[in-house]
Structure 1
Amino acid sequence: MGAAAAIESFAHWSSQGDTWRDRPVLVLEHAALMRRLLTGALKNAGARTIITAGSEAEAKTIIASDMPGMVVADWRADQTDHRQALSLVKSVRTSDNLAIRDVPIVLTGQYTSRTDIERARDSGASEFLKKPLSTGDFLKRIEYAAVPRLFIKKTRYAGPDRRRKPRDGRDPAFKRKIDVQEGLVDSLTAARNACVALAHEVARDGCQHARRVAISLNRYLGAVREFGPTENEIVEMHRAALVQLEQARDANDAIRISVVQGLEDVVKMRLSRL
């Protein structure tokens, strides 16, 4: 669980005393009316330089060369598949350039669902607005996105810290390392709670191979009676398998099956030793 997590200091333009208004703002929006609305609102809010892009490919080039202080993009842009639609966010969050990696990204979308919003959040988006949007709400979200947050880098997530509010009794089950450290939950229960959340996440995409990974992890955690380095190693193996499946999503099915089968064989062997 916590072994693969690295929390790093937020290191974008704000560390140099700048604000998002002092850096170029990139807008990726195909609809002319919406593009004028967004750029007009940004200018009125004090943005000094606004750059528009016509495609995700162009946006990626602009981000690499101009290192904007804010990115505002239609979440689907020129893509129809939700995986490809979030490729801009993912490419930014996995960049080796810290100034690029940390840039706040505000996504907008007209036809969205709770699942779409969760996908955007889990890809590393800073804020998400549903169209049609008001100028006031838009600028409010821009300011929220600009607030410096820790950058989280884990096996399956890279982006700003998604935790903003103190945990209370209505929150999801305790599942984080900090919950264990504060004595709110034991390590094994936290791991099992995290597994339930993982199963929910992979179910959103409907990938049967990813579901098998979640089932495999649940089977293992349901059999063990304590959680230590050995158990954490198995958890990270499952997370790594999900990353492999994501990277091989366009490969032939035999490759993806081999990833899952290999993982299930390891779990079977480990369970035989209990």
Structure 2
Amino acid sequence: MGAAAAIESFAHWSSCGDTWRDRPVLVLEHAALMRRLLTSTLKTAGARTIITAGSEAEAKSIIESDMPGMVVTDWRAGQHDHREALSLVKSVRNSNNLAIRDVPIVLTSQYTTRTDIERARDFGVSEFLKKPLSTGHFLQRVEHAAIPRLFVKQTRYGGPDRRRKPREGRDPAFKRNKDVENGLVDSLTAARNACLALAYEVARDGCLQARRVSVSLNRYLGAVRDFGPKENEIVEMHRAALVQLERARDANDAVRISVVQGLEDVVKMRLSRL
């Protein structure tokens, strides 16, 4: 569903010859016993400086001032709104400071459904760990999170490249574009497949207006016969509408409805010209 706006080096501190052990490690864990366990494990693994935080606000302040080489944070028990639970991750990934934005983040959680894991991934978590933790597995994930990865900046995602296989050179093309280039699928079919993925994503949160965006895009792609710059423009408009809805999630319904209504009007006009 569109190319990345930018793909840059991930974990800038690693280019200086540092490892995650050489820089402060921030631990945000609300359970005291688990916090002591994580701290002890990290010290045993060679972490030179460990800083603990008692709240998301304190953690954000520490990240801005100390620029840690690793962040270990928990999905707070009882915090079922995933946007609130993952607000620390989101604030890091949206930072204008590259040294902060790129920091590896290991999330520990009691919530381990497929939806929970996908939400954490889509917010930009580097590694996801199920509680209760085993020491060996935890350190393995920390080491894996510290491996330098590319940072992907898209309309609706900012974070480490979610694909595990290395890219060929620094080509920013997504798999969909590669498949089209290799003749495995045509552009329109690829766009429709991406639309289905988008529909699944917005359905997870149960947002009525976001679902309308998905229905609108599906309607448009179901009517066109070719996929070129004009069609891609409509796709990007739908993506932008979803971003607006996310930013206005605390606004009243009238504001959110107006965003979707304007989009639907544009699609209706485009379809009338086919």
Shorter-chain TM-score above 0.5: yes
Please give the alpha-carbon distance, in whole angstroms, between the structure 1 residues aligned to 2:143 and 2:247.
33
Matches within 5 A, 1:178-257: 178-257=178-257
Code of the aligned partner of 1:243: V
Structure 2 SS opposite 1:249: coil
For residues 135 and 141 of structure 1, the distance between their equivalents in structure 2, rounded to whole angstroms, comes to 10
CA change 1:236–1:28 in 2 (3 A) is same
Quote the residue 1:82 is aligned against. 82
Q: Which residue of 2 aligns with 1:15?
A: 15
Matches of 2:175 and 2:205, distance apart in 1: 22
Partners of 1:87 and 1:56 lie apart in 2 by 8
Q: Secondary structure, in 3 states, of the residue corresponding to 1:152? A: strand
Q: CA distance change for structure 1 residues 77 and 8 in 2, over 3 Å: closer, same or farther? A: farther
Q: Which runs of 4+ in 1 moved over 6 A?
A: none
Q: Secondary structure at the match of 2:117?
A: helix
Q: CA deviation at 1:178?
A: 2.5
Per-residue CA deviations over 1:28-63 (Å, capped at 9, x if unaligned) read 001111011111110011100000000001000000
Percent of aligned positions with the same letter in both sequences? 86
Q: Deviations over 1:149-188 (max 9, x none)?
A: 110000000000001148xxxxxxx962222233322211
CA shift digits 1:84-120 (9 cap, x unpaired) = 1111111111110000000000000113311111000
- The one of the two structures with greater contact order (alpha-carbon pairs below 8 A, sep at least 6) is 2
- Which residue matches 2:66? 66
Q: Distance in 2 between matches of 1:103 and 1:65?
A: 13
Residues 175 and 157 of structure 1: CA distance in aligned 2, closer, same or farther (over 3 Å): same
State the match for 2:113 in structure 1. 113
Report if aligned partners of 1:56, 1:77 keep a CA contact under 8 Å in 2. Answer: no
Between the aligned partners of 2:77 and 2:132, the Cα distance in structure 1 is: 16
* Cα RMSD for the two superposed structures: 1.7
TM-score with structure 1 length normalisation? 0.94
Which piece of structure 1 moves more, 221-230 or 9-18?
A: 9-18
Check whether the contact 1:175–1:190 (CA below 8 A) recurs between aligned residues: no
Q: Contact between 1:75 and 1:107, CA under 8 Å: does it hold in 2?
A: yes
Q: How far apart are 1:135 and its partner, in Å?
A: 0.2
CA distance in 2, matches of 1:179, 1:144: 28
TM-score by length of structure 2 reads: 0.94
After TM superposition, list the pairs within 5 Å mapping 1:6-45 onto structure 2: 6-45=6-45
Aligned pairs, number: 268
* Residues 193-241 of structure 1, C-alpha deviations (whole Å, 9 max, x = no match): 1100000000100001101101100111111111111111111100010
Match of 2:170 in 1: none
Q: Note the residue ranges of structure 1 that are not aligned, 5 or more in a row.
A: 167-173
Counterpart in 1 of 2:147?
147
Question: Is the contact between residue 156 and residue 243 of structure 2 (CA under 8 Å) also seen in structure 1?
Answer: yes
